């Protein structure tokens, strides 16, 4: 993990499936906030699916002396993590991407589409 993110993540953090084919990395405080939001969804079919997606795949992570984490095989496979990965910050969490997937995803984002998205969301 990059040094700057290590400070923000703290000693213990949670890694789980993210959206768009990456892994999501939550500092303890943000993970607890996400848990609370998901608990409030109730127990309907959609809520159960969301709970399973995030919680069944989550694990508590700790950095080793070199600032690395060991990611379980199921999550490495999900995010297609090979040798080269990219770690990006996302305000309340970080994401771990296969570097090639990130390159393709990031190149597809252009200023015009982001401007249209911002307008659509009344930002």
Which DSSP letter does residue 14 get?
E
Backbone angles phi, psi at 24, to 5 degrees: -105, 135
Taking only the tens place, the pLDDT of each residue in 3-48 is 788 878 877 899 999 999 999 999 999 999 999 999 999 999 999 9
Sign of the CA dihedral 116, 86, 91, 44? positive
Q: Judge whether 63 and 6 are in contact, CB under 8 Å.
A: yes
pTM of the model: 0.87
Q: How far apart are CA 15 and CA 18, in angstroms?
A: 9
How crowded is the C-beta side of 9, counted as CA atoms within 13 Å?
28
Q: Domains plus CATH for the chain?
A: 3-98 (3.40.1550.20)
Instruction: Supply the pLDDT for residue 122.
Output: 78
Taking only the tens place, the pLDDT of each residue in 49-104 is 999 999 999 999 988 888 889 999 999 999 999 989 999 998 899 999 999 999 99
């Amino acid at each position: 993990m990059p040094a700057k993110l290590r400070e923000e993540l703290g000693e213990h953090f949670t890694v789980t499936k993210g959206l768009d084919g990456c892994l999501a990395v939550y500092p303890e405080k943000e993970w607890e906030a996400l848990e609370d939001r998901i608990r409030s969804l109730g127990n309907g079919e959609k809520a159960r699916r969301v709970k399973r997606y995030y919680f069944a795949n989550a694990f508590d992570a700790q950095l080793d002396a070199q600032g690395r984490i060991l990611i379980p095989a199921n999550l490495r496979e999900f995010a297609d993590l090979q040798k080269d990965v990219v770690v990006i910050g996302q305000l309340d969490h970080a994401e771990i991407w296969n570097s090639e997937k990130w390159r393709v995803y990031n190149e597809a984002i252009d200023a015009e589409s982001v401007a249209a998205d911002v307008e659509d969301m009344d930002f």
